[in-house]
Amino acid sequence: MKADQKSAYADAGVDIDAQDRALGKIKKLVRSTFTDGVLSEPGSFGGLFRPPVEGLEEPVLVASADGVGTKLMVARMAGDFSTVGQDLVNHCVNDILVQGARPLFFMDYVGAGVLEPASVVDLVSGVATACKENGCALLGGEMAEMPGFYDRGDYELVGFILGMVDRPRILDGSRVRPRDLLIGLPSSGLHTNGYSLVRRVVFDKLGLSVGDRFPDTEIRDRVGKLLLAPHRTYLPAVGPLLDHPGLHAMAHITGGGLTENIPRALPMRTRAEIRIGTWRIPEIFHYLQDHGEISTEEMFRVFNMGVGMVLVIDPEAATEVFASLRDAGQKAFPMGTVQEGGSGVVYDLGSSGDSTEQ
């Protein structure tokens, strides 16, 4: 093809040369995450990985897939795609962590209307950063440019994770007993859930932009910085506890909030009783509730309310568990108990003496 001759594919909206420029940088990012188990090179048709099974009685693979949701729209508004890749990896790591699994490798998919190399590299750079922090390899992925399906500036980011746990160490709720303690680990903000509602309140109703400050509040961060705060990984803090017999279950507080996620970690005919006021709910949640005129019940079903992970532990192991978390630099607080009978979550509203069941 002549140098001045335009590609028919480019004329249709797909720029292969732009993809190649992005891939050149992405391959370096991918290789920087490789662990000892990786047997293939970036660009292979399929990723090859040899799992470390030494010392395991019955290795079990644990897989999960997820996306970033409409938090990507906030990243587009801010012109900053550098953190959403971290959101994706950390979310997926936490999802398999609650079953006792440690991550082995991660794969991503990036879809775009018009591929802009700098933005795509920022997306994958965030993925690579989080993979290295969690000790898992970015084994490969896919990058698709689909004009007409996505608008220019739109991106889709999806991730797939594979981890492993020894079968006797699987956390499936079967160890949970009535009177077990619920231990909360703070979130780093909104994480990756509820952004459709957040955008409606912050941008549509209040008319704020990503560079604005939240008016009439003590929130110091500007809108964009606060809303793009990365989803926290709990592997560094909880990993040392995965073999502890006092850890009975865990719940990752994502879409559905405390109300819907804690029961997923409990056996039938048990309920969680949570005492409101045992932790400080970050100001952003109060701000959203007040300005969005959202009920307390809905807040606890949509947002994490400042709790990113809940551990269910044997009361007799509390001292050791808190010491381990403290040694890992992880703040934690007792927030309730498991009780026999019923199901779901009962919220104790504290000084009012009232409670509500959901």
pLDDT at 54 over 60: yes
Report the percent of the chain where pLDDT is more than 90. Answer: 84
- Give me the phi and psi of 134, to 5 degrees please: -100, 5
CA atoms within 13 A on the CB side of 86: 20
* Residues 202 and 340 both lie in one domain: yes
* Residues 75 and 192 both lie in one domain: no
* Residues 153 and 187 both lie in one domain: no
* Residues 28 and 120 both lie in one domain: yes
For 88-99, write each residue's pLDDT tens digit. Answer: 999 999 999 999
| H-helix or E-strand spanning residue 138 | strand 137-145
* Residues 227 and 307 both lie in one domain: yes
Top-confidence residue, 115 or 163: 163
* Residues 136 and 188 both lie in one domain: no
**Distance of alpha carbon 139 from alpha carbon 96, whole angstroms:** 17
Q: Tell me, yes or no, whether 174 lies in a domain.
A: no
For 282-305, write each residue's pLDDT tens digit. Answer: 999 999 999 999 999 999 999 999
CATH number at residue 54: 3.30.1330.10
Largest CA distance in the chain: 79
Strand partners, 334: 183
* Residues 146 and 203 both lie in one domain: no
Q: Tell me, yes or no, whether 121 lies in a domain.
A: yes
Last residue of a domain, one of 169, 192, 218: 169
- pLDDT for position 119: 92
- pLDDT for position 161: 98
Q: Tell me, yes or no, whether 56 lies in a domain.
A: yes
Last residue of a domain, one of 114, 143, 169: 169
**Distance of alpha carbon 254 from alpha carbon 191, whole angstroms:** 8
For 13-35, write each residue's pLDDT tens digit. Answer: 566 666 777 788 899 999 999 99
Top-confidence residue, 136 or 114: 136
State the average pLDDT over residues 193-211. Answer: 97
For 58-93, write each residue's pLDDT tens digit. Answer: 999 999 999 999 999 999 999 999 999 999 999 999
Burial of 94 (0-12, 13-18, 19+ CB in 10 A): buried
* Residues 159 and 188 both lie in one domain: no
Strands 102-112 and 137-145: parallel
Q: Tell me, yes or no, whether 310 lies in a domain.
A: yes
Confidence of residue 153 (pLDDT cuts 50, 70, 90): confident
- The residue with tokens 């720029």 is 15
Last residue of a domain, one of 143, 169, 195: 169
Tokens of 70: 């409409």
Q: Tell me, yes or no, whether 230 lies in a domain.
A: yes
**Distance of alpha carbon 57 from alpha carbon 134, whole angstroms:** 24
* Residues 193 and 273 both lie in one domain: yes
Rg (CA), the chain: 22
* Residues 101 and 250 both lie in one domain: no
Closest CA to 131 of 12, 272, 22, 26: 26
Q: Tell me, yes or no, whether 3 lies in a domain.
A: no
State the average pLDDT over residues 104-121. Answer: 93
Q: Tell me, yes or no, whether 328 lies in a domain.
A: yes
- pLDDT for position 22: 74
- pLDDT for position 353: 42
Closest CA to 155 of 163, 167, 143, 166: 143
Top-confidence residue, 38 or 151: 38
Handedness of CA 106, 111, 115, 120 (dihedral sign): negative
pLDDT at 5 over 80: no
* Residues 71 and 159 both lie in one domain: yes
Strand partners, 138: 106
Structural domain that includes position 39: 9-169
Q: Tell me, yes or no, whether 176 lies in a domain.
A: no
The total of other beta-carbon atoms located within 10 Å of residue 261's CB is 21
Mean pLDDT score of the chain: 93
Region of 145 (left: φ > 0; alpha: ψ -120 to 50; beta: rest) is beta
- pLDDT for position 357: 53
- pLDDT for position 3: 52
- Give me the phi and psi of 14, to 5 degrees please: -115, 115
State the average pLDDT over residues 299-320. Answer: 98
Q: How many domains is the chain partitioned into structurally?
A: 2
* Residues 161 and 219 both lie in one domain: no
19-33, 128-142, 163-177, 233-247: the lowest-pLDDT one: 19-33
Q: Are 18 and 119 in contact (CB under 8 A)?
A: no
Contact residues for 178 (Cβ-Cβ < 8 A; gap 6+): 270, 338, 339, 340
Q: Are 97 and 251 in contact (CB under 8 A)?
A: no
CATH number at residue 197: 3.90.650.10
Closest CA to 306 of 202, 187, 219: 187
